[in-house]
Structure 1
Amino acid sequence: MENVFRPLSVVGGSVLLTLAIGWATDRLLHKADERNPESPLWGLLRRGRIPYQLVLCTALLRGSYAQAKLLDRHQAGVGRALTLVLIGSAAWLVIRIAGAIVETSYSRYARAHRDAARVRRVRTQVELIMRVVSAIVIVMAIASMLLTFPAMRAAGASLLASAGILGIVAGVAAQSTLSNLFAGLQIAFGDMVRIGDTVVVDGEWGSVEEITLTFLTVRTWDERRITMPVSYFTSKPFENWSRATPQMTGTVYWHLDHSVPVEAMREKLRDILRECPAWDGRAYGLQVTDTTPSTVQVRALVTAKDADDIWTVRVTVREQMITWLSAHHPHALPRVNTSDAAPVPNHSAHPVDGRVRHHR
């Protein structure tokens, strides 16, 4: 009877104690979150309750399984399994805690600064730093797990001796991966491109949606995603419309007849922009920029606070100006002039001695 009661009491007591401590910790974090609604730290820490309880339960079982005399023949295997679970859950908990601290710091920075460009830059750096921290913790956890096996510890000296050769081979084999890794760090801390920036790459216009240590994702205006290695942005030129400020200047072109009333178009452009919510009111203008034998080229300059609004302003100005010209100045629209063709001269008549000789 004791052989059954003791393991059940040890395992059941560990589970119950874990649930009790986990519930009490969660209640404390919940109260702290209610008292400090301006800080998301406590709410983010509550997301780590599962790895936290797993660490507690595994640690209690790891310390008491020997007294429980559970699976006497396999005590070494049970102890190693519990150790592996403890290391994995501890790494999981560390990543959750680090993520909560980093996210809280970013939230405070975003509230304190109104500059959208600086906030996007910090957001990019924070995400990449969090990925690096997660990778380091995972690698250390895996290394700790491997070191629990005696065979791995015995092979440590030979592995260390061959580390130089393996490093050279791995460096050559993963040259592109390493270049993307360093390019990702360069992008994060060199402020070349940030999450949310409006960019043009390979003729595609879109906004940066995700940046990792190896690749970058651009969301195009038609909801497509373009994924490319981050080394592209360190080796090839690209347009960043949000590099310093998201404000933009756009152009609208028309090809019109020479009789177009340019001054009236300037006044109409002013009226259109005043009624367009996307126009930021900074500047506008309209000039004749080119002429051809049949048309003149008229260009309008408009401004907006970002790339999305400049697109709205341009299409609005283009559409309403064409509508106004068609209704009030139809003669200003381009026309194709036609006339009767001139008669072809008769080259078959040749003058001979002052007389015209006709050939039939």
Structure 2
Amino acid sequence: MTEEILAHPWFGTWLAAFVGVPLALLIHRVGGLVLMRVTRPTPALHAMVVNCKAMARLVLPLVALLLVFQAAPDNLRFIGSVRHFNGLLLIGATTWLLVKAINGFADGVLAQHPHDIEDNLHARRVLTQTRVLARTAITMVLVAGGAMMLMTFPGARQVGASLLASAGVIGIVAGLAAKPVFSNLIAGLQIALAQPIRMDDVLVVEGEWGRVEEITGTFVVVRIWDDRRLILPLSYFIEKPFQNWTRKSSQLLGAVFVYVDYGMPVAPLRAEVERIVKGAPEWDGRFFNLQVTDATERTMQIRVLCTAGNSSLAFDLRCKVREGLIDFMQREYPQFLPKMRIEGDAMQPASAAPSLAQDAAPPR
């Protein structure tokens, strides 16, 4: 029995495999400890090593088996199928290892720049770049891995060659069909590098006010103020105009307009605005003022400017100032609230005689 096993054509190959796989696992164990220690001062690389550790335990034995099967004699039965199957497993495992490496590196970079702080402009910039570039890289790795697995099949290579040979009209049709995909891919790279939008940016787009909730490889999710979601392709933010309220800073200047009668003195309003703004926790202490900005035939327009740290605080501050001014006028100066006057004398015709005008005038 022992002699039959020793004389079996596969004995040497399997023996080499039984030696190579434990050796690969030993290399994984020792190499992992070394890399964990070496990359500890660099959080991004350390997170990448930690994320790849489990998948590398599968890739290294597959590499060892690939070397063993390639060194085996070509006349072994089923050696071609075994090599092919091992190659497919190795390509798939390596592709997934690269995906894990990209995700781990991205998580390490984001851990160094937390975006749940008040002044998070730089962190949101890093968050947007990291996520968009990571997803683009993962897409390219998956496409490359799938293409390499298909190319291991002779039939797929022949189909690819025949398609390339007759790629005239097919290439044009495929190019037109894939135009949105490639335009979104290029738009994603432009957004990651130029950053017209970032995660958690405040936008006014398609007439809606909201925040950037998610940026994927093909579209952007904007969470509108009433919790609706607006889904837009990446190319939209490259080709069409929109408002970004947090492009350079989240601080905003809010405006409040109030219409009052001409008899309303401005000084008490200015003092009341100062009291309201300085007592509001939403005010960031930068600036406020009150001015008469317009005058119509019936009222004058009062404009109040005040600053806040972000758009939500600015909205609340504007509402507070508007409510405070209305309450102040209702309490102190109700006679100067906007009203429409109809004077009896103004209705008399200018060319009428005094007696006729007196007769035509309505009784008081």
Task: Name 2:208's counterpart in structure 1.
Answer: 204
Distance 2:183 2:263 in 1: 59
Contact 1:29 1:43 in 2 (8 A): no
Q: CA deviation at 1:300?
A: 0.7
Contact 1:252 1:300 in 2 (8 A): yes
Distance 2:328 2:113 in 1: 48
- Worse-superposed segment, 126-135 or 87-96: 126-135
1:249 and 2:253 correspond? yes
Distance 1:10 1:221 in 2: 64
Residues 25-67 of structure 1 deviation map (CA, whole Å, 9 limit, x = unaligned): 555565567x53x724313421222321221243344455799
Contact 2:44 2:105 in 1 (8 A): no
- Which runs of structure 2 are paired with 1:1-360 in the superposition (5 Å)? 27-28=33-34, 36=41, 39-63=43-67, 76-102=80-106, 104=108, 116-117=120-121, 119-163=123-167, 165-292=169-296, 294-335=298-339
Question: Cα distance 1:260–1:166, how it changes in 2: closer, same or farther (>3 A)?
Answer: same
TM-score by length of 2: 0.75
Question: Cα distance 1:46–1:163, how it changes in 2: closer, same or farther (>3 A)?
Answer: farther
Contact 2:256 2:318 in 1 (8 A): yes
Residues 189-212 of structure 1 deviation map (CA, whole Å, 9 limit, x = unaligned): 333223332210111011222333
Letter in 2 for 1:225: R
Residues 258-309 of structure 1 deviation map (CA, whole Å, 9 limit, x = unaligned): 3333211111111222122221222211122334455433221111232222
Q: CA deviation at 1:108?
A: 5.9
Contact 1:248 1:306 in 2 (8 A): yes
Contact 1:184 1:213 in 2 (8 A): yes
Distance 2:144 2:239 in 1: 33
Secondary structure at 1:205 match in 2 = strand
Distance 1:326 1:17 in 2: 86
- Worse-superposed segment, 216-225 or 7-16: 7-16
Supply the RMSD in Å over aligned alpha carbons: 4.0
Q: CA deviation at 1:177?
A: 3.0
Secondary structure at 2:57 match in 1 = helix
Q: CA deviation at 1:187?
A: 3.0
Secondary structure at 1:210 match in 2 = strand
Question: Cα distance 1:165–1:230, how it changes in 2: closer, same or farther (>3 A)?
Answer: same
Question: Cα distance 1:319–1:160, how it changes in 2: closer, same or farther (>3 A)?
Answer: same
Contact 1:185 1:213 in 2 (8 A): no
Q: CA deviation at 1:327?
A: 3.3
Contact 2:47 2:108 in 1 (8 A): no
Question: Cα distance 1:268–1:19, how it changes in 2: closer, same or farther (>3 A)?
Answer: farther
Contact 2:44 2:109 in 1 (8 A): no
Residues matched between the structures, number: 334
Q: CA deviation at 1:17?
A: 6.2
Letter in 2 for 1:41: L
Distance 1:104 1:220 in 2: 30
Q: CA deviation at 1:12?
A: 8.2
5+ long unaligned stretches in structure 1: 341-360
Letter in 1 for 2:100: R
Percent identical pairs in the alignment equals 38
Secondary structure at 1:179 match in 2 = helix
Distance 1:173 1:66 in 2: 41
Residues 211-270 of structure 1 deviation map (CA, whole Å, 9 limit, x = unaligned): 334322212222322111122223322112223333321111223333333211111111
Distance 2:190 2:48 in 1: 29
- Worse-superposed segment, 331-340 or 161-170: 331-340
- Worse-superposed segment, 324-333 or 226-235: 324-333
Question: Cα distance 1:67–1:189, how it changes in 2: closer, same or farther (>3 A)?
Answer: closer
Contact 1:211 1:217 in 2 (8 A): yes
